[in-house]
């Protein structure tokens, strides 16, 4: 990226969190390629006043480069929406404005005005269909410099699930472990012999109440460098899945798949697991998952300890009656 500079106004449309964060990371990397001292500042757009926005986007005495990220820009009021469009029309040198918008109808006029004004637009729509996940896995393999056989893609999705962060982590590890060429046998071998390295595996042990197994899987994942946020997301996803499947009852997984937005295998598995959970225990598990997600994203100075505490707390919640 040497020599590249990002466009001064970036409009990111959509709510697929992983893809949105990658756009922000790429913009910041480009800004730092031009100026290694470039600073990243994030603001929740609805909490800013027009004057505060102007201050954030004003050049400093020392002309420091900045990447200003406005999160949830679709939630702003009319005054700030107008201010965003005005500021974007005349960006200061060295400052990049990244506007994150859900892509929906709310404040669409602001997004359209930014687009007409020449903002670089990136779409990060939610990945909800199987075909989209297939495309994501294929592009992810290319992104990390590998190749994957057509028959390996659905096997990987079935093994890992629908969460893009888990798919990205599993894909990266597979490409690294196989030397770049991933086939069906490699996927099956990896998820049989290296399952202890994923956040998904930690969550699987937790929801069945396997305290020792969960702690062992957690330590393996940490040793192997699985990001804390992926493990926390896997715990949250596991608890949400139990709650959704439990509320849906004991219906046919194939019929429930569309309404729940999950593959049948995942519903079938959760139906077996949720039998051993009481609603009070699920409520406690929800609280623990929410807390650890905040902890690993900056609320705690010790994310590893926060994860261990959450694992123990959720395992204990399973036994609550």
Sheet holding 9-13, edge to edge: 39-44, 66-71, 95-101, 9-13, 120-123
3-state SS class at 39: strand
Looking at residue 4, its pLDDT comes to: 64
Provide the token pair at 305: 């300890």
pLDDT, position 130: 81
User: Residue 177: how many CA atoms within 13 Å on its side-chain side?
Assistant: 19
User: How far is the CA of 313 from the CAs of 39, 206, 230, 307, in angstroms?
Assistant: 37, 9, 18, 10
Which residues 6+ apart lie within 8 Å of 226 measured at CB?
169, 197, 198, 199
Q: 7 is written with which tokens?
A: 């466009």
Q: For the purposes of burial, counting CB atoms within 10 Å of the CB of 22, is it exposed (0-12), middle (13-18) or buried (19 or more)?
A: middle
CB 73 within 8 A of CB 103: no
Dist CA 206 CA 229 (whole Å) = 16
Burial class (CB in 10 A: 0-12, 13-18, 19+), 85: buried
The pLDDT score that the predictor gives to residue 62 is 65
pLDDT at 63: 63
Q: Which two tokens stand for residue 178?
A: 């196989």
Q: What three-state secondary structure class fits 277?
A: coil
CA dihedral 244, 250, 255, 261 (to 10 degrees): 10
Q: Where are the beta strands (DSSP E) in the chain?
A: 9-13, 39-44, 66-71, 95-101, 120-123, 147-148, 181-182
pLDDT at residue 61, rounded to an integer? 63
- Which residues are CB-contacts of 10 (< 8 A; sequence separation ≥ 6)? 23, 27, 96, 97, 98, 99, 119, 120, 122
Q: What is the chain's pLDDT, residue by residue, as a tens digit (321 residues)?
A: 444 678 999 999 999 988 999 999 999 999 999 888 888 889 888 888 999 999 989 877 666 789 999 999 999 999 999 999 999 998 888 899 999 999 989 999 999 999 999 999 999 999 888 889 989 999 999 999 999 998 888 888 877 777 888 889 889 888 988 889 999 888 877 776 444 456 778 888 899 999 998 998 888 888 777 788 888 888 998 999 999 898 888 888 878 877 887 777 788 888 888 888 998 999 999 999 999 988 888 777 788 899 999 999 999 998 776
Query: What is the DSSP pairing of strand 9-13 with strand 147-148?
Result: unpaired
pTM over 0.85: no
3-class DSSP state of 276: coil
């Amino acid at each position: 990226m040497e020599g590249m500079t990002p466009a001064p106004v970036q409009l990111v449309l959509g709510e697929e969190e992983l893809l949105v964060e990658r756009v922000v990371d790429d913009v910041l990397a480009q800004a730092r390629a031009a100026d290694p001292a470039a600073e990243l500042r994030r603001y929740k757009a609805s909490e800013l006043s027009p004057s505060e926005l102007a201050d954030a986007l004003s050049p400093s005495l020392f002309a420091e480069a900045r990447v200003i990220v406005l999160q949830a820009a679709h939630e702003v009021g009319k005054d700030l929406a107008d201010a965003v469009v005005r500021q974007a029309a005349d960006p200061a040198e060295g400052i990049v404005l990244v506007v994150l918008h859900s892509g929906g109808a709310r404040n669409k006029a602001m997004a359209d005005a930014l687009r007409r004004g020449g903002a670089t637009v990136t779409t990060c729509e939610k990945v909800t269909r199987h075909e989209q996940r297939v495309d994501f896995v294929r592009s992810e393999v290319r992104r990390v410099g590998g190749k994957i056989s057509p028959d390996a893609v659905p096997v990987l999705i079935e093994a890992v699930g629908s969460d893009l962060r888990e798919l990205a982590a599993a894909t990266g590890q597979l490409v690294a472990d196989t030397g770049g060429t991933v086939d069906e046998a490699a996927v099956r071998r990896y998820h049989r012999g290296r399952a202890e390295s994923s956040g998904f595996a930690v969550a699987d042990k937790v929801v069945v109440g396997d305290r020792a197994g969960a702690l062992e899987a957690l330590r393996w994942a940490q040793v192997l460098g699985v990001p804390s946020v992926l493990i926390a997301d896997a715990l949250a996803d596991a608890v949400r899945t139990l709650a959704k499947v439990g509320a849906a009852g004991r219906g046919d997984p194939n019929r429930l798949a569309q309404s729940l937005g999950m593959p049948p295998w995942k519903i079938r598995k959760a139906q077996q697991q949720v039998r051993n959970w009481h609603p009070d225990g699920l409520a406690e598990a929800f609280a623990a998952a929410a807390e650890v997600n905040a902890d690993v994203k900056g609320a705690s100075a010790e994310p590893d300890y926060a994860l261990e505490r959450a694992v123990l707390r959720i395992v204990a919640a399973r036994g609550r009656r």
